[in-house]
A and B are shown apart, each in its own frame.
Chain A
């Protein structure tokens, strides 16, 4: 009872110390500004990047000039036809002078399979290439079909769009858009990684601070190290979750009113927002987010207990960061085969389950029971790590300025 009370008192102190600081308020406010930028900038780039592209058409055969002028003109490109007698050299000279961005070099036998090449200073742009690919392909197809003397009805049938898409299902739930669910889980994995590296290090700092401010002997005499560690992880963790909560809340509102936000910046049309998630999926994602967050915070606390100064923290955190990165790399593997045995194993291991289990669950590779078991393993592991951190801390109290050897560490854990 006293232990729990102490834990909560320590947690409250850590939470208040952080929340009351100026930086916390500043960062909490800067977050949404970044989010607005993340919505507006890509949309703005997508809208405006290819407009006004200056292109010349070098088409000695002349078969494709007309449809390309019309097609690219519809993209608001500034399309001109190269002067008679123009060569690659004269066109390249124009690119050098900046008169045009690039030119389409169309072989006379293009309709029969000859090459069509675009050369320009913006050929590396995905957007430009995408527009060109679509428009050139359509122009060629239209011409070929016209040459085949088809009736307009036949042309209309042949020209119909092929509508292909994928839907993810394991036969248990209604099929969903696989891409959408994957993206949500994928990005949450990344967000968890970022949040852990930013706030988990906060926990480590907080533990190291006990040593650098020499307050630890005072604390060890009053509270059990386990209460102290658990309190720190909870308190610093809660500060982080509070900030992320504010951000997610604002983020959700921004996504809901995405069109209005974009409209305020003079950009219209935004495309789809978040794909819909079932309540159980949201619950699993949140549970593993919080669970993973506290598990890694405990790991960082243990690291903090091992070192005696801020400088040393830089080095010891590498192994934990590596664990996280391995988890991120394995996301692809889980999405490729969510029901495979490797995915099943990795989503049970506490160091990777926080990143991989939400994805596996959303993709239907795991039942709610699997998720619950994995969460239980994660929770127990967190408690074990907290205990270990407390033991290391407890004995480390008496050691300043010396990093423990592996043998000492093992001895401390048995202390």
Chain B
């Protein structure tokens, strides 16, 4: 999946607004053909990062290389499809013309832009609305039109800023399908979100940022594997007698380093962390030898949310307040997740 030249390289970019450091020395690399998520709480600096990649604002420091080493600007823009967080459309424009307009501005001929706009409307089930004005469409339909405006020129790099915010479940599914299609066609998707569940479903790799700084990045599978390699096991017991028999085994410090209460809503009775160098089989063998009736024995693969909370901390996962009048998001509008 990973080609030699990455789709995007971000090297040590920083951006300061007044006294507020929005982004601080953030670096990451997006391989070609993958779906890459920039994750973080609201106000972490995700949108600022994406704006710098799209040449809407210039970084104070650092470098950005797009596709074959192109710096942000008109040449790079031709290869990018961008769906900003603040996404509006011209309310009086006809739906088909709106999509075609963006295609034309991305370099397509008028005829080709209109043809593709028609194809996109069909693909999104909006063909009967082609001649209506954008303002007459429901919010959900407008969101679909917005996807089309970002994708009509088949960009090599698709950048979506909080694409799921405000989407109903059906449109969220449509968007996931679209993202899968782009990946299947060998193109690259970079998106930001604070919704870990969505990211987990579509991402190949992630970069987690909080308070403007990178916390960790890498391929999702590897992140999970390395987190799982810490040796966390979820246990479920058949009855109280089994639980009592297990106590003796779990109390063995040579096997178990730490015991954690079960997470709320989980069917496991408890979670344990294995002692250093202990393989899960050794614990399993110990429990079997003690004739513990096991209902569940599972090497825990963490969810993205767990990794996030663990690494960032609960406090940072809460939206950070932005200083008054700071360039950035629209006041008062933050989509519910």
Contact = CB atoms under 8 A, between A and B. Distances in A.
Interface of A: 2, 6, 9-10, 13, 17, 21, 209, 213-224, 397-402
22 contacts: A2-B74, A9-B101, A13-B90, A13-B97, A209-B90, A213-B90, A214-B330, A215-B90, A217-B84, A218-B89, A218-B149, A221-B54, A222-B105, A397-B56, A398-B51, A398-B56, A398-B327, A398-B328, A400-B330, A400-B331, A401-B331, A402-B325
A221 B327 contact: no
Nearest to B84: A217
Nearest to A206: B90
Given A217-B56, A217-B86, A17 B93 contact: yes
B104 interface: yes
Interface string B227-269: 0000000000000000000000000000000000000000000
Contacts of B74: 2, 224
Nearest to B50: A221
Given A219-B105, A398-B56, A400-B331, 15 more contacts: A2-B107, A13-B90, A213-B88, A215-B90, A217-B85, A217-B87, A218-B83, A218-B84, A218-B89, A221-B55, A221-B77, A221-B80, A221-B84, A222-B82, A400-B330
Contacts of B91: 213
Contacts of B139: none
B87 A214 contact: yes
Nearest to B110: A9
Nearest to A224: B74
A-B interface, 4 closest residue pairs, ranked by CB to CB distance from nearest: A214-B88, A398-B327, A215-B88, A217-B84
B328 A9 contact: no
Nearest to B105: A222
A215 B89 contact: yes
A402 B330 CA distance: 11
A223 B106 CA distance: 8
A235 to B, nearest CB: 12
Given A2-B74, A218-B149, A398-B57, A223 B327 contact: no
A172 B91 CA distance: 56
B86 A222 contact: no
A13 B93 contact: yes
B56 A17 contact: no
A302 B18 CA distance: 24
B311 interface: no
B92 interface: yes
A105 to B, nearest CB: 67
B112 to A, nearest CB: 14
B189 interface: no
Interface of B: 51, 54-57, 74, 77, 80, 82-93, 97, 101-102, 104-107, 146, 149, 325, 327-328, 330-331
B223 to A, nearest CB: 30
Contact of A6 (B80, B82, B86, B105): B105
A221 B89 contact: no
Most B CB atoms within 10 A — which of A9, A214, A216, A222? A222
A209 B307 CA distance: 43
Contacts of A6: 105
Nearest to B74: A2
Contacts of B149: 218
B71 to A, nearest CB: 15
Contacts of A397: 56
Contacts of B83: 218
A398 B84 CA distance: 12
Given A2-B74, A221-B56, A400-B330, A213 B105 contact: no
Nearest to A215: B88
A31 to B, nearest CB: 22
A218 B90 CA distance: 11
B86 to A, nearest CB: 5
B142 to A, nearest CB: 11
Contacts of B105: 6, 9-10, 219, 222-223
Contacts of B56: 217, 220-221, 397-398
Nearest to A399: B327
A6 B106 CA distance: 9
A11 to B, nearest CB: 12
A219 B54 CA distance: 11
A17 B84 CA distance: 24
Contacts of B85: 217
A393 B57 CA distance: 13
B125 to A, nearest CB: 22
Contacts of B54: 221
Contact of B82 (A209, A221, A223): A221
A364 to B, nearest CB: 48
A412 to B, nearest CB: 12
B102 A218 contact: yes
A9 B90 contact: no
A219 B104 CA distance: 12
